[in-house]
Structure 1
Amino acid sequence: MLHIQNLNVHYGGIHALRGINIDIPDNKIITLIGANGAGKSTTLRSIMGITKPSQGSIRHQGEELTKYKTKDIVEKGIVLVPEGRRVFANLTVEENLILGAYCRSDKDEIKKDMEWVYELFPRLKERLWQKAGTMSGGEQQMLAVGRGLMTKPKLLMMDEPSLGLAPLLVKEIFNIIKEIHRQGMTILLIEQNAKAALEVADYGYVLETGTIVLEGPGKELLTNEEVKNAYLGEAK
């Protein structure tokens, strides 16, 4: 589905991404793990056209994305659920979800997808007319994911979906990720909770200071000693 080759990004004098290569096949969960500042969010911003690479290629179904604006990339079915939720605080749950479908004109399908989001997140249906800014962090995260799904994405990218959430809510969010994937969604997941991410991922990449230092199936990375010591809090 999406192929990143030799991607380099500079912020002024900072070389944020250093020739990374990533493959995201259809109907898989791919995760990027690494410390703060490793380049994970920069990768997502580059895919979305928010940050322009200094070198390299990002191809989606054979088409080069780096020449497109963010709006065009969204219309091609690539969507980012940003870190920090970024819901529209003064709008209701329903209004936030409707805004997620702003690129679409298929009204009947939009209604069906709204019901699908409510099935995934029953709490959102209960709070249909509540202002998003008055919701808990976990509820806002559910709304952010639901809003992303309303675009009818081919690739859903999620930046730190568990950040700041209580353990029970983290488990709930990851159950939703698994369910969305079970229904055929391709997912690129960025997480500091490396254990939770690798447990659901088909394949993972470990980023350190803009470079991919390890990659492999999620289950294999979970048992890798370097990964365990650096990211899973396990000593030898």
Structure 2
Amino acid sequence: MTSDPQLAVNLYASKSQQYYTNVRTDLVSLLPASPTLKVLEVGAGGGDTLVYIKAQKLASEVVGIDIFDLPDTNQRNPLIDRFIIVDIEKDALDYAPGYFDVILCGDVIEHLVDPWATIKKLATYLKKDGLLVISTPNFRHLYNFITIFLQGDFKYNPAGDLLDRTHLRFFCKKNIEELVRTEEFAFQSIAPIIAFKDYKPRFFVRFFNAVTGRLFEQFIVSQYVVVGRRR
């Protein structure tokens, strides 16, 4: 994620525990209905999403990957079949090609040096017709326009959010969709984060998006979730 490993450790260590431990019910809602699923989560943080998936019997096997060991989290929860501390950009996984049914990448690709190469690599571990689910921030958000173009201030934020200091790559809706329009993947769907029932934005965001017929959606939505199907 950076040429200086210690700098990366320091940057991520400055974030709150919640940054790593929330359950991504939006991504979970996109899982196929099959209790025999094998699910890999890249950038699994504290493992809460994987624990939730297994506890709800939505999959038979869940595996997590993250670049950091996070003490006092669910990384070692017995419901998780395996948790691997590894750099997905540099290291191979000891799983057979086509092993997983679903791979989740919740707010992780923006932290990678080469997310496109990583997506191509992850395709190896997905079975035919398996799903890749990616969520990532929408750089076209009005907040970025105001801070960068009107105020002339990039305002990198060490705590997180749209201009997280640990973000290395930035995407608009079109670019997010293109992530799964490749030789390896067929585009299946893309949805704004506000489309998921468990996401609770300010009331104004949903209301404004509805009354304007989604005309300005790309300026008020903080992130998109895209799904690709393995060819």
Give the TM-score category using the shorter length: 0.3 to 0.5
Q: Which has the higher strand share?
A: 1
Higher relative CO (CA 8 A, sep ≥ 6), structure 1 or 2?
Answer: 1
TM-score normalised by length of structure 1 = 0.34
TM-score normalised by length of structure 2 = 0.35
